[in-house]
Structure 1
Amino acid sequence: MKILIVEDEALLAMELESEVDAAGHDIAGIAADKTAAIQLIETKQPHFAFVDIQLLDGPTGIEVGRFLAERKIPYVFVSGNLKRIPDDFAGALGAIEKPYTMNGLKNALSFVETFVAGDRENPDPPPSLVISPAYHAARSA
């Protein structure tokens, strides 16, 4: 799976990159602002993305998320303030709250892998992943 990381904090981006790599996935790129993220989405066509809400150019992660959703690319927000996520989750599968543990991130990534692979009957999401209401609705339909 080709994964995009949209995160303006270099250390957190490196940690995410390390975990994604250790799980056997490819990095489509790392972006610290909306412009770079959109460029990577268009050129690298990731299969999945981790998106922070607050980027170098402000709270533009939500706009990046909507851009991903329009292209049917699943993603999760990774944020220190989940209250900033719109009620519709801007099309996100869910969210991981910062600070997260490496174990929590691994569990969330494992869940995401099955989702991206098309397994909608997968087990309940791990506690580290707050799932969007739309996902719950689709799963129970």
Structure 2
Amino acid sequence: MNTGKSLRILIIEDEILIALELETLLQEAGHDVVGVAPSSSEALKLARNLKPDLAFVDIHLADGPTGVDVARQLTSQLGTTVLFMTANTKRIPEDFAGARGVISKPYTERGVREALAYILADREDGAEPSRTVTFIPFGAMSPGDRSTLS
């Protein structure tokens, strides 16, 4: 699904197989993956140099649970849009550390594509984003969980 709009994306993930799989998915969706960083220091260095539009950020990186700090710096200092992609959703603070949403691991291709569509729609709208969204892989939900979604 190539929407014609392309984002420059930084993947911040310490598990190389997950990072490579996500990179392939994003490229197939028509986006430019500008880099992959396994640690907070490398992530911030790459972000400053490459100025991505969007960063997928895991909470637990090679140097520990530093993803929340990375998200805060990317959003506040560089204006980068952040989506958390993590199995540790309980570690995300109530203010989302400036992130626009969460894709829960294990993620689905559909969840990633929906998140990208959401980010692109916000960018086209031009208005200041007013909410954050949690993208939940449908395969991970039991039938009773569906009634809690609004």
The TM tier, using the shorter chain, reads 0.7 to 0.9
Moved more, 107-116 or 18-27: 107-116
Query: Aligned match of 2:96 in 89, 100, 105?
Result: 89
> Structure 2 vs 1, CA of residues 57 and 125 (structure 1 numbering), >3 Å: closer, same or farther?
closer
> Structure 2 vs 1, CA of residues 35 and 104 (structure 1 numbering), >3 Å: closer, same or farther?
same
Q: Deviations over 1:64-122 (max 9, x none)?
A: 10111112211110010211001111000011100111111111112122223345599
> Structure 2 vs 1, CA of residues 45 and 126 (structure 1 numbering), >3 Å: closer, same or farther?
closer
Are 1:38 and 1:64, in contact at CA under 8 Å, matched by a contact in 2?
yes
Query: Aligned match of 2:123 in 116, 119, 124?
Result: 116
In the TM superposition, 1:1-141 aligns within 5 A as 1-70=7-76, 71-120=78-127, 128=135
User: In the comparison of the two structures, how many residue pairs are matched?
Assistant: 128
Taking the aligned partners of 1:28 and 1:95, their CA distance within structure 2 comes to 21
Secondary structure, counterpart of 1:40 in structure 2 = helix
Q: Deviations over 1:20-76 (max 9, x none)?
A: 101111112000000110011110000111000000000011111011111221111
Taking the aligned partners of 2:71 and 2:132, their CA distance within structure 1 comes to 20
Structure 2 residue aligned with 1:135? none
Supply the AA of the counterpart residue of 1:81.
N
Larger Rg: 2
Are 1:53 and 1:79, in contact at CA under 8 Å, matched by a contact in 2?
yes
TM-score of the pair, normalised by structure 1 = 0.82
TM-score of the pair, normalised by structure 2 = 0.78
> Structure 2 vs 1, CA of residues 62 and 127 (structure 1 numbering), >3 Å: closer, same or farther?
closer
Residue segments in structure 1 that go unaligned for 5+ positions in a row: 130-141
